[in-house]
């Protein structure tokens, strides 16, 4: 069993801390954020990811996981150091690798003896692994690009049953050593170079985003030609060449990865003189989806000043409390800018919404948010929201507009309950 340091105690780093400890390794997690480390030492995760808190606490009880703010402590005796720090988008779409470079710097300075293999899991600008390999070469340290494909809300499932493990390195022995860390996990393993590994992560997210924008583009047309988009995408998804994931029409994609990774691919194309058109269009379609909601409300009410809109679901998808780049947040901001009064409800993201200072009234229930509203928008596919009592919802509202941004509500049931329904190309067959 190995000793592993993990830099970055966030959504990715902690999944690897819990998972690798469960496989028997000893893990030291480093984060530069002291309050995060203090929280984690008390056994608290600080965000919602199913099963992860229990897994981490089990690792801590077995003395396999500890948390520190000191690179020197964490790297002492470590055979591997996983880098899982943020790489946010910058204004030109490129990925900001300053935190990553900061982590590399600290690893260089505080490496122990023998020096650890650097395993990069952050989503990085293509070329980072080669630069890092140069940076660490004088110390005899190897760099393996091991991009992460986990999906929040099902991150542990993805850790134990990944669709693939990608290991990019100039040093096959180092890549093999990383593969052995994952012993017990069955998945196709692809050995490649650093650049291909890094680009595979960006390209995978760009493809998923393209599927969402494709579904939204056909949804717009479906509404116009009298076809039902849910039935249409179901038919498409039965073709194994197409598949069903990410093919739902609605408010579009969000989160901390897809929007920034599409922007990063677009930036990469521009920088290397390739045509960025497809990626530009994917983002434009996505942003348009939210604007459609605003346009619809303006068409209905004229001015939105004083109009009350309830947004049900704030997290960028169900199963997480992550609201980073969530479509609901962007929509809320657009509505607030037009002087609408916005109330929000999310089954999991209360604390995050409060901490983010989102300027909307936060309700404790969907009915609380909808009370007195002129319109409601379903913005996250939470199962709890799909089962709401529609006639009751309608009764607590002042107006009758229901915008189903996630295909949660059957159009005819909404109409029966007295709603004026808009469903992004959902015409609706009679319920089964």
Is residue 342 within 8 Å of 311, Cβ to Cβ? yes
Residue among 29, 204, 249, 257 flagged as catalytic: 257
Which residues have a Cβ under 8 Å from the Cβ of 6 and sit 6 or more positions away? 13, 16, 17, 20, 27, 28, 29, 30, 74, 81, 82, 84
Site stretch for ligand NAD (CB under 6 A), options 145-153, 210-218, 268-276, 392-400? 145-153
Q: Does 102 bind ligand NAD (CB under 6 A)?
A: yes
Structure tokens at 280: 């530009």
Q: Establish whether 84 is a catalytic residue.
A: no
Looking at 1-9, 267-275, 297-305, 397-405, which segment touches ligand NAD (CB under 6 A)? 1-9
DSSP 359: S
8 binds ligand NAD (CB under 6 A): yes
CB-CB contact of 260 with 88 (8 Å):
yes
* One residue of 148, 325, 346, 404 binding ligand NAD per CB under 6 A: 148
Encoded tokens for 292: 């459609």
Minimum distance, C-beta of residue 274 to ligand NAD, in the bound complex (Å): 22
Q: Which is nearer to ligand NAD, 125 or 411 (CB)?
A: 125
Q: Which of residues 68-87 bind ligand NAD (CB under 6 A)?
A: 84-87
Cα gap 373→35, rounded to integer Å: 38
Tell whether residue 36 is a contact of ligand NAD (CB under 6 A). yes
Contact 220, 182 (CB under 8 A): no
Q: Which of residues 156-195 bind ligand NAD (CB under 6 A)?
A: none
Is the distance from CB of 185 to CB of 16 less than 8 angstroms? no
Rounded Cα–Cα distance for residues 88 and 67 (Å): 24
202 binds ligand NAD (CB under 6 A): no
Please tell me whether residue 33 binds ligand NAD under the rule CB under 6 A: yes
Q: Does 257 bind ligand NAD (CB under 6 A)?
A: yes
Q: Which of 32, 189, 386, 413 binds ligand NAD (CB under 6 A)?
A: 32
Contact between 99 and ligand NAD per CB under 6 A: yes
Task: Give, in order, the Cα–Cα distances in Å from 17 to each of 7, 35, 36, 108.
Answer: 10, 18, 15, 21
**What are the residue numbers of the active site?**
257
The residues of the shown chain that bind ligand NAD, judged by CB under 6 A, are 7-13, 30-33, 36, 84-87, 99, 102-103, 121-123, 148, 150, 152, 256-257
């Amino acid at each position: 069993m190995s000793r592993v340091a993990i830099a970055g105690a966030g959504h990715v780093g902690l999944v690897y801390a819990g998972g690798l400890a469960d496989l028997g390794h000893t893990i030291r997690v480093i984060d530069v954020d002291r309050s995060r480390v203090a929280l984690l030492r008390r056994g608290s995760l600080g965000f919602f990811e199913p099963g992860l808190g229990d897994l981490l606490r089990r690792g801590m009880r077995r003395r396999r996981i500890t948390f520190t703010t000191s690179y020197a402590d964490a790297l002492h005796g470590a055979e591997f150091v996983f880098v899982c720090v943020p790489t946010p988008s910058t204004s030109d779409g490129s990925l900001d690798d300053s935190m990553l470079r900061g982590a590399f710097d600290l690893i260089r300075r505080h490496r122990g003896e023998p020096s650890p293999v650097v395993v990069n899991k952050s989503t990085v600008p293509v070329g980072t692994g080669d630069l890092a390999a140069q940076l660490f070469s004088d110390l005899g340290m190897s760099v393996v690009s091991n991009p992460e494909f986990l999906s929040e809300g099902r991150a542990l499932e993805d850790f134990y049953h990944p669709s693939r493990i990608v290991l990019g390195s100039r040093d096959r022995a180092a890549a093999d050593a990383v593969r052995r860390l994952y012993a017990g996990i069955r998945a196709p393993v692809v050995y490649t170079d650093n650049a291909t590994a890094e680009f595979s992560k960006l390209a995978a997210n760009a493809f998923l985003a393209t599927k969402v924008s494709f579904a939204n583009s056909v949804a717009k047309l479906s509404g116009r030609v009298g076809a039902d988009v849910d039935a249409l995408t179901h038919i498409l998804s039965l073709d194994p060449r197409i598949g069903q994931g990410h093919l739902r029409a609605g408010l579009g994609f969000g989160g901390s990865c897809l929007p920034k990774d599409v922007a990063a691919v677009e930036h990469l194309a521009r920088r290397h003189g390739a045509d960025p058109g497809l990626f530009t269009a994917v983002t434009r379609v996505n942003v348009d989806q939210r604007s459609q909601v605003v346009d619809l409300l303006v068409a209905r009410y004229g001015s939105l000043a004083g109009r009350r809109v309830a947004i049900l679901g704030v997290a960028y998808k169900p199963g997480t409390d992550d609201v980073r780049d969530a479509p609901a947040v962007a929509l809320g901001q657009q509505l607030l800018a037009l002087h609408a009064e916005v109330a929000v409800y999310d089954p999991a993201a209360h604390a995050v919404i409060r901490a983010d200072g989102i300027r909307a009234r936060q309700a404790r229930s969907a009915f609380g948010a909808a009370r007195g509203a002129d319109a409601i928008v379903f913005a996250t596919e939470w199962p709890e929201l799909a089962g709401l009592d529609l006639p009751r919802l309608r009764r607590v509202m002042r107006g009758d507009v229901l915008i189903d941004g996630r295909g949660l509500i059957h159009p005819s049931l909404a109409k029966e309950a007295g709603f004026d329904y808009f469903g992004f190309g959902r015409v609706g067959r009679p319920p089964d």
